């Protein structure tokens, strides 16, 4: 028993030094003020070195996304870290959820080669990656082009009506 305790005491400094430092932990989450985003407006935040697209969608954008038959989707999986991994890519499962369907928060990196798509462009009025021609709809779902997956949705939560915490 004393050998186990001694081995643990000897190993602890090595284990402890592997914990992330304060600067790394600070990058783990970011809070974004969305109070200025009216319907139809977007902003890009930065989290873990990646662009994060936050959009307050218009009722027309929401309806356009809801009207898409699931069989028309290239990637049928929501890719939303906030819900089940196998959830379908419905508009609701891609948005911030019930009561907040107008909000969409996504990692702004094309799932083809990591380029940054342009907002409110392309054949479906969502995002367009001019590098290789991937078109995403108003829910960030890949609809056309070489990208294999929908834009990913990071873990996030509303911490108030005007603040979102990502990470």
Running DSSP on this structure, what letter comes out for residue 52? E
CA proximity to 165, closest of 23, 52, 37, 19: 52
Exactly one of 112, 132, 135, 152 is catalytic; name it: 132
The two most distant CA atoms of the chain are separated, in Å, by: 69
| Active-site annotation holds for 112 | no
From residue 141, give the alpha-carbon distance in Å to each of 65, 83, 88: 9, 16, 11
Beta bridge partners of 30: 166
Please, which residues bridge with residue 42 across strands? Answer: 55
Active-site residues: which are they? Answer: 132
């Amino acid at each position: 028993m004393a050998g186990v305790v001694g081995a643990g005491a000897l190993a602890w400094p090595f284990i402890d030094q592997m914990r992330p430092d304060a600067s790394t932990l600070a990058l783990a989450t970011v809070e974004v003020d969305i109070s200025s985003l009216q319907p139809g407006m977007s902003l890009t935040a930065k989290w873990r070195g990646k662009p994060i697209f936050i959009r307050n969608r218009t009722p027309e954008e929401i309806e356009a996304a809801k009207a898409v038959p699931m069989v028309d989707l290239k990637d049928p999986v929501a890719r939303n870290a906030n819900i089940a991994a196998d959830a379908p890519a419905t508009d609701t499962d891609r948005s911030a959820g019930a009561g907040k369907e107008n909000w969409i928060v996504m990692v702004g990196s094309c799932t083809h080669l990591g380029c940054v798509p342009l907002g409110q462009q392309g054949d479906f009025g969502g995002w367009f990656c001019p590098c290789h021609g991937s078109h995403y709809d108003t829910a960030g779902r890949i609809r056309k082009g070489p990208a294999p997956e929908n834009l990913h949705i990071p873990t996030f939560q509303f911490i108030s009506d005007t603040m979102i915490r990502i990470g």
